[in-house]
Structure 1
Amino acid sequence: MSKNVLFIMCDQLRWDYLSCTGHPHLQTPHIDRLAARGMLFDRAYVQSPICGPSRMSFYTGRYVSSHGSTWNNIPLKVGEMTLGDHLRPLGVRTALCGKTHMTADAEGMRRLGLAPDSEIGVLVSECGFEPYERDDGLHPDGGRYPRNAAYDAHMRERGWSDENPWDSVANSAEDDAGNILSGWFMDHADKPARAADEDSETPYITGRAMDFIREAGEAPWCLHLSYIKPHWPYIVPAPYHDMYGPETHLPLLRSEEERRDPHPVYGAFMQERVSQAFTDDRARRKVIGAYMGLIKQLDDQIGLLMDFLEEQGRVEDTMIVFTSDHGDYLGDHWMGEKELFHDPSARIPLILVDPRPEADATRGQKSSALVEAIDVAPTILDYFGGAAVPHILEGHSLLPILQGTREALRDFIVSEYDYSMRDVRRRLGVSVADAKLTMVFDGRWKYIFAEGFRPMLFDLQNDPDELRDVGGDPEFAAEAARLEKLLFHWSRRTSQRTTIADSTIAARNASIGEARAGILIGYRNEEELRAALAEAVEQGL
């Protein structure tokens, strides 16, 4: 029986919008069933609260400042090892069905003579995955993102002749007069998409994942099933469009105190158009209803997928990873979108199901360990029996926690954000080089270092909703200094020496190695050399 991994990622799914993580009105029984079969990691955080760099950290197992893809469409440089690069030598087929937000390093590929359509070129361009079906969504007319021809063909087979059915069918509504109402506009979020449920993106990509599993045979595989939703456009097909009225929405997390004298960077993000739009309660309620409907649709598709795995006899040999690339403010903290480090944005759901008996002792449990997105890649590598490569993968395998031999792996987590591409930078008059934020969270204190400004600081023990920034309060200066020291220590890590392991260096005796190579530095005569070589032999060097 082969080992397999189904690595499921949702796009922009908040940690608290599942019933297993505490949502009182949005019931997600199929995702809950995964948590009951495995372990729910309740304090998991992304390495950057925006799609591209977050995903690059998931796929490389490395921090953003290590892999260098600091924002959407900034290429992941050629040479960065990804999950597929670690798994293929083990004989594991590593494939993609859905989104990666990967931008290829075309210039680097040209410099190295890598043809984009060659076998290696395709893997480098697709973040190390075999692109069984790449679909990033985001196909508006005139947009810079490539269209998914397979989805277009699927919609034509379903009777849709629209030139861009992703835009005009799956992500648009229609009024009684036949006018197309774009799902990009928040005012239309409460209307049903023109597409029927089975024609929309989430069921389509689920079906393609089933096709892969059906075709995969007995060789081991790792399938990255990467859903486009509940990421905007916020619109969902019937019957999901009107399931969740305002009475089912979570209480709004924001206070007037946050707006009175905000940190300059936070204040500038509050001024972004999307943040201003979410201060309109009517529009916000429409969006949240659609957002919840999209999650309910996802949960139903997860149920179908799990039933399919059982029918295929794959439940007992397949590890399941369920997570998200970041959250969504949805108006909390006077913010729209994601990008800063409050929990609605930077905290994610993470469920791991290890089917092996070694994990039986922790099934159905919730772990409060501090977990980072970069832990997923080493966990999958460990599951397949690959040797640890800590000089490359900066995360840690979570299998010891799953197997009950460890309770925690780290004392703090780090997340980074580069806002140089945002209007916020110009609004603040900050240089591209200085438009950086770094968050350190030790389980209680959340510290955000903002280049050129005072830090932000939140005490989640006494202020769990993160409504009071005490970063400028002298009373908390000692805590800020302690966390800044943690950040300084972390920033001095060796992250770029990926071609040789620390253990190899530690085992090396430099002078003896040089002597054996005929490089005789520091020896006064042949007798000293012979004595040194004899001693090295005795020590097994």
Structure 2
Amino acid sequence: MCDQLRFDYLGCTGHPHLKTPHIDALAARGVRFDNAYVQSPICGPSRMSTYTGRYVRSHGATWNQTPLRVGEMTLADHLEPLGLRTALCGKTHMAPDIDGMRRLGIDPGSGIGARIAECGFEVWDRLDGVHPSGGTPPSHYNDHLAGLGYGGPNPWEQWANSAQGDDDEILSGWLMQHADRPARVAEAESETPYTTSRAMAFIEDAGDQPWCLHLSYIKPHWPYIVPAPYHEMYGPEHVLPAVRADVEREDPHPVLAAYFEHRFSRVFARDEVRARVIPAYMGLIAQLDDQIGRMMAWLDETGRSTETLIVFTSDHGDYLGDHWLGEKELFHEPSVKVPLIVVDPTPEADATRGQVLPHLVEAIDLAPSFVDWAGGDPRPHILEGHSLLPLIHGADPPWRGAVISEYDYSARRAQQLLGQPIPDCRLVMVYDGRWKYIHCEGFRPMLFDLETDPDEVCDLGADPVHGDQRARLAGLMHRWALRHHNRTTISDAEILAGQGQEVAQGVFIGFWDASDVAEAVETGTSGN
């Protein structure tokens, strides 16, 4: 999993300048899903959905640093009983439910407490992206840099996230004006190669034990700075024109208008910023691609690629100035749509190898796919996604007709600009492959027709001509919202098996006399 990698910034997805031969080779080895969407277009809730296989409204971690509540089952809870060692190398953005653990008498420092605090993963090496203060939790990567002689109170900040000025001054990578300069750290010791090396070390450590490794790169997420030689691989001439139109700003939806006022949107609306930053973003992707190539070559050389299911994806995209926006968080394609490549080495997957599949896929489909791969039961009362393996194996199972994504903007300045109560800062996207409907609590909806308007610049949310489509998609959203989302402790099969057990337990409800009981037992109609 990459962080903040757009779906269209790969060679295999059509970028005209960016070269990603190793990721493209993964797509040729497996299947590329062309319509994959995250359950929230921001790091924390998106990842919690991927790790739990559940929608944001189901697991409740609605924004970054919102704890995933104790009791939510994650990948390790599903995979370790099937014999898989489940580990993290890189980022999770997990915030632990310390209050919940204390309430239940679980010591956060205990073995089980530590696993709950780390989203169920065995932490091989957590690197969420270090911050100027050193980051929380403490980073193995900072210790690694310090051990190599990189000085300073926070080596990541002074070396991996800084450039060298013309007068040898240190220039902060947080400032986008420095994005065209190389990071001070040696390329081999920068975040992406470091994480790849640590992932290889885990695989070797696992030996013959089956494993599931979350290799989670923190790039190309900001800060937009990359070491040499990647800093100069691309230039302003490789920056695609922003996908935006003046009509978007003439009478914008109130939520969109509020996001136009965010600092990250105002800066990315400037062409000179895009010309400086996007080449660095592309360089970070090129470095990622080389590290994917390094990992795949090693897996091939050691014979592991023939028995390893490999998934390549991202937790969300990056606007990069499209639609006059920066960052992510709303539901245009550059933000909510992600790359998804699945390489299944088994002969059953030969039928689709190298294909691009059009099915509407959600990030929550990965967890049930892993359970399926490991031979486990589907557990649909917990896992809300669908296994992708039948599609990869050439089957044509019944499939969803729409995808759902959610966002909570209560932590953003938009909440203040709109004067929205915290509980009402909710957005829900429903996309059926053509029509994209966005419910905005307290405001009119947004609506886009991607068949006639693939760039999503014409909002039809107030157009009376399209009221039928808005009503239809709102109905899909309501039916989704009314489904069971939180009955996770008992399966449908267990409910069926429990029907009619009252008489066997000596509980006679609704009977007149003993003959009624005898008749009910004989005819098998003893349930109420």
Superposed pair shares fold, TM > 0.5: yes
**What secondary structure does 2:23 align onto?**
helix
| Alpha-carbon separation, structure 2, partners of 1:368 and 1:285 | 33
The count of corresponding residues between Structure 1 and Structure 2 is 528
2:85 alignment partner in structure 1: 93
Q: Is the CA contact (8 Å cut-off) linking 2:239 and 2:274 kept in structure 1?
A: no
The partner residue of 1:52 within 44, 47, 57 is: 44
2:413 alignment partner in structure 1: 423
Return the offset for 1:156: 2.3
Return the offset for 1:520: 1.1
1:166 alignment partner in structure 2: 156
1:350 alignment partner in structure 2: 340
Return the offset for 1:407: 6.5
1:6 alignment partner in structure 2: none
**What secondary structure does 1:515 align onto?**
coil
User: Does residue 217 of the first structure (1) align with residue 207 of the second (2)?
Assistant: yes
1:518 alignment partner in structure 2: 506
Deviations 1:27-58 (A, max 9, x none): 10000111000000010000000000000000
User: Does residue 289 of the first structure (1) align with residue 279 of the second (2)?
Assistant: yes
1:131 alignment partner in structure 2: 123
Following superposition of structure 1 onto structure 2, how do residues 46-85 of structure 1 map, counting pairs within 5 Å? 46-85=38-77
After the TM superposition, which parts of structure 1 deviate over 6 Å for at least 4 consecutive aligned residues? none
Following superposition of structure 1 onto structure 2, how do residues 381-392 of structure 1 map, counting pairs within 5 Å? 381-392=371-382
| Alpha-carbon separation, structure 2, partners of 1:144 and 1:386 | 37
User: Does residue 474 of the first structure (1) align with residue 464 of the second (2)?
Assistant: yes
1:115 alignment partner in structure 2: 107
Deviations 1:355-408 (A, max 9, x none): 101001100000010000100100011000010100000000000110000266
The partner residue of 1:312 within 281, 302, 305 is: 302
Q: Is the CA contact (8 Å cut-off) linking 1:139 and 1:147 kept in structure 2?
A: no
1:534 alignment partner in structure 2: 522
Deviations 1:105-148 (A, max 9, x none): 0000001111122221111110011001111013212x763330
**What secondary structure does 1:21 align onto?**
coil
Deviations 1:210-267 (A, max 9, x none): 1001111111000000000000000000000011112212221000000110000001
Alpha-carbon RMSD across the aligned residues, in angstroms, is 1.4
Following superposition of structure 1 onto structure 2, how do residues 6-405 of structure 1 map, counting pairs within 5 Å? 9-141=1-133, 145-148=136-139, 150-405=140-395
Deviations 1:38-95 (A, max 9, x none): 0000100000000000000000000000000000000000000001100011111000
| Alpha-carbon separation, structure 2, partners of 1:533 and 1:68 | 44
TM-score scaled by structure 1?
0.96
The partner residue of 1:504 within 477, 480, 494 is: 494
| Alpha-carbon separation, structure 1, partners of 2:130 and 2:457 | 33
| Alpha-carbon separation, structure 1, partners of 2:143 and 2:420 | 46
| Alpha-carbon separation, structure 1, partners of 2:113 and 2:381 | 25
Q: What amino acid does structure 1 have at the position aligned with 2:83?
A: G
| Alpha-carbon separation, structure 1, partners of 2:431 and 2:482 | 18
Q: Is the CA contact (8 Å cut-off) linking 2:162 and 2:173 kept in structure 1?
A: yes
Q: What amino acid does structure 2 have at the position aligned with 1:12?
A: Q
**What secondary structure does 2:2 align onto?**
strand
Q: What amino acid does structure 2 have at the position aligned with 1:81?
A: M
Following superposition of structure 1 onto structure 2, how do residues 448-463 of structure 1 map, counting pairs within 5 Å? 448-463=438-453
Gaps of 5+ in 1: 1-8
Return the offset for 1:502: 1.5
Gaps of 5+ in 2: none
Q: What amino acid does structure 1 have at the position aligned with 2:362?
A: E
| Alpha-carbon separation, structure 1, partners of 2:360 and 2:515 | 56
TM-score scaled by structure 2?
0.98
Moved more, 429-438 or 522-531: 522-531
Q: Is the CA contact (8 Å cut-off) linking 1:139 and 1:146 kept in structure 2?
A: no
**What secondary structure does 2:447 align onto?**
strand
| Alpha-carbon separation, structure 2, partners of 1:292 and 1:489 | 40
Q: What amino acid does structure 1 have at the position aligned with 2:137?
A: P
| Alpha-carbon separation, structure 2, partners of 1:478 and 1:152 | 55
**What secondary structure does 1:49 align onto?**
coil
| Alpha-carbon separation, structure 2, partners of 1:23 and 1:111 | 51
**What secondary structure does 2:423 align onto?**
coil
Q: What amino acid does structure 1 have at the position aligned with 2:395?
A: T
Q: Percent identity?
A: 61
